Amino acid sequence: GAVVSQHPSWVICKSGTSVKIECRSLDFQATTMFWYRQFPKQSLMLMATSNEGSKATYEQGVEKDKFLINHASLTLSTLTVTSAHPEDSSFYICSARPTSGTGCEQYFGPGTRLTVT
Amino acid sequence: GQNIDQPTEMTATEGAIVQINCTYQTSGFNGLFWYQQHAGEAPTFLSYNVLDGLEEKGRFSSFLSRSKGYSYLLLKELQMKDSASYLCAVCDSNYQLIWGAGTKLIIKP
């Protein structure tokens, strides 16, 4: 149980285009999902907290107009990287917090590797 | 401020035991997690401690002392596949995970 999927697993796009990444909790409901970014040889960096039915909360330094987050249902959150640039190339990982859980647990998706050329 | 400290890198020998330490200072405490992350992959859950003491799960054990703001992950009978980064994360009063920078564990034959 507690499986989280991400799609796509990898994507290559041209500079200036937009890319949408989906995060789904497959066998549980998640009121809250988290989006992380990880550059090579660095730790996870929380980008934003996504809450179903409300606006996402962005961490300091993360541009909300560039990284659009939509959490329209209890099992799906999407991250859209708008007008992508090579410096946005990174490993994007989502996690989902079960609605019925202890409040701390998060289950991670497998990640999406984005390369912007 | 909130702070999680763990060593950047450790090296150990196959078959041996290694202990990875984590100290923390956070606003509130609702448990401490250890995750394993192989290069290019997402983190996978290893353990969760919310009460003081040792939790054993196969070759991996995790210890917590809340009064000292201290935890360790103990890996026994090391295997080459244990080469990975090990992330310590504390759940704070807002149920947000505060992450350490991770410890890269290198296993040598």
| b/e per residue B38-47 (b: at least 16 CB within 10 A) | eeeebbeebb
Contacts of A91 in chain B (CB under 8 A): 40
Cβ-defined contact of B43 to A102 (cutoff 8 Å): no
Mark residue A61 as left, alpha or beta (left: phi above 0; alpha: psi -120 to 50; beta: remaining).
Answer: left
Cβ-defined contact of B101 to A43 (cutoff 8 Å): yes
Closest CA of chain A from B33, distance in Å: 9
Report the relative pairing of strands A4-7 and B84-91 from DSSP bridges.
Answer: unpaired
Tokens coding A36:
């992380």
Please check whether residue B100 touches A, CB under 8 A. yes
- Counting as low any pLDDT under 70, the low residues of chain A are none
Cβ-defined contact of B33 to A93 (cutoff 8 Å): no
**A78, A56 contact by CB (below 8 A):** no
The pLDDT score that the predictor gives to residue B73 is: 98
The pLDDT score that the predictor gives to residue B38 is: 94
Please, which residues have CB within 8 angstroms of residue B24's CB and are 6 or more apart in sequence? Answer: B3, B4, B5, B32, B69, B70, B71, B88, B90, B98, B100
Best of A37, A89, A106, A112 to mutate (most B CBs within 10 Å, chain B)? A106
DSSP three-state, residue A69: strand
The pLDDT score that the predictor gives to residue B20 is: 98
Q: Consecutive 10-residue runs of chain B (109 residues): their mean pLDDT?
A: 92 98 95 94 93 95 97 98 96 89 95
The pLDDT score that the predictor gives to residue B1 is: 72
The pLDDT score that the predictor gives to residue B22 is: 98
Longest dimension (CA), chain A: 41
Burial class (CB in 10 A: 0-12, 13-18, 19+), B57: exposed
pLDDT in tens, A11-25: 999 999 999 999 999
Compute the count of residue pairs across chains A and B with CB atoms less than 8 Å apart: 42
The pLDDT score that the predictor gives to residue A108 is: 94
Contacts of A30 in chain B (CB under 8 A): none
The pLDDT score that the predictor gives to residue B56 is: 94
Distance CA B4, CA B21 (A): 10
Give the DSSP per-residue string, A17-52: --EEEEEEESSS--SEEEEEEE-TTS--EEEEEEET
Q: What share of chain B has pLDDT > 90, as a percent?
A: 88
- In angstroms, how far is the first alpha carbon of chain B from the final one? 40
Cβ-defined contact of A43 to B95 (cutoff 8 Å): no
